[in-house]
């Protein structure tokens, strides 16, 4: 009986190791894999799967494109001191702009680096999927638990209103 109970755990562990190996073989960095997992564990649903990518990383910040059904957007990610990634904000086209990234507290050099890396990564994405990233309206700040603080709260901190325009 004890041997039978151990099998499911060993099978699950083998599956996790196999999937991690596939991820590494696909050329995805550990940071990219962790970011993908954060987004999937937060918003993926059986009836509404989330597709994540591209993911670009610069230091302790990253941007990940995502689509879910006919909608999509971009997630601004931040790494904490313990190395864990979380969603700092969700947005659309505004997250492509270095100036908006700077308004979130990011340094100018990193904002420009992320913006350039995102433009390059998204150029390899089919145009129809890339257009879905633009369907997210505005900029919504997220807390550590993945909850949004509302468009009004985010606009007062970023200088961007719910439509993504400066007042």
- 30-89: pLDDT as tens digits: 999 999 999 999 999 999 999 999 999 999 999 999 999 999 999 999 999 999 999 999
Phi first, then psi, for residue 76 (nearest 5°) are -90, 125
pLDDT band of residue 141 (cuts 50, 70, 90) is confident
Q: What pLDDT, on a 0 to 100 scale, did the predictor assign at position 143? A: 64
Instruction: Please return the burial class of 73, using the count of CB atoms within 10 Å of its CB with bins 0-12, 13-18 and 19+.
Output: buried
Q: What pLDDT, on a 0 to 100 scale, did the predictor assign at position 2? A: 52
Phi first, then psi, for residue 72 (nearest 5°) are -170, -175
The span from the CA of 13 to the CA of 44, in Å, is 22
User: What average pLDDT does the segment 142-152 reach?
Assistant: 51
Q: 74: closest CA among 35, 26, 127, 45?
A: 35
**At residue 10, does pLDDT exceed 50?**
no
Q: What pLDDT, on a 0 to 100 scale, did the predictor assign at position 87? A: 96
- Angle of CA points 115, 36, 100, to nearest 5°: 25
Structure tokens at 91: 């947005």
Query: Does the predicted TM-score (pTM) go above 0.85?
Result: no
Q: What pLDDT, on a 0 to 100 scale, did the predictor assign at position 114? A: 97
**At residue 99, does pLDDT exceed 50?**
yes
Q: What pLDDT, on a 0 to 100 scale, did the predictor assign at position 21? A: 42
**At residue 16, does pLDDT exceed 80?**
no
3 state DSSP class of 63: strand
Q: Compute the residue count for the chain.
A: 167
**At residue 6, does pLDDT exceed 80?**
no
Query: What is the percent of the chain where pLDDT is above 70?
Result: 69
pLDDT band of residue 142 (cuts 50, 70, 90) is confident
Structure tokens at 21: 């190996």
User: What average pLDDT does the segment 128-151 reach?
Assistant: 77
User: What average pLDDT does the segment 126-154 reach?
Assistant: 74
């Amino acid at each position: 009986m004890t041997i039978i109970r151990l099998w499911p755990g060993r099978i699950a562990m083998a599956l996790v190791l196999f999937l991690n190996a596939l991820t590494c073989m696909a050329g995805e960095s550990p940071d990219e894999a962790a970011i993908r997992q954060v987004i999937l564990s937060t918003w993926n649903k059986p009836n509404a799967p989330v597709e994540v990518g591209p993911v670009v990383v610069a230091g302790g910040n990253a941007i990940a494109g995502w689509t879910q059904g006919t909608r999509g957007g971009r997630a601004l990610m931040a790494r904490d001191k313990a190395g864990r990634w979380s969603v700092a904000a969700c947005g659309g086209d505004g997250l492509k702009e270095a100036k908006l990234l700077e308004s979130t507290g990011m340094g100018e050099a990193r904002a420009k680096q992320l913006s350039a890396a995102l433009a390059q990564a998204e150029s390899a994405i089919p145009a129809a999927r890339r257009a879905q990233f633009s369907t997210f309206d505005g900029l919504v700040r997220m807390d550590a638990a993945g909850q949004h603080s509302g468009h009004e709260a985010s606009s007062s901190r970023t200088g961007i209103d719910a439509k993504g325009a400066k007042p």
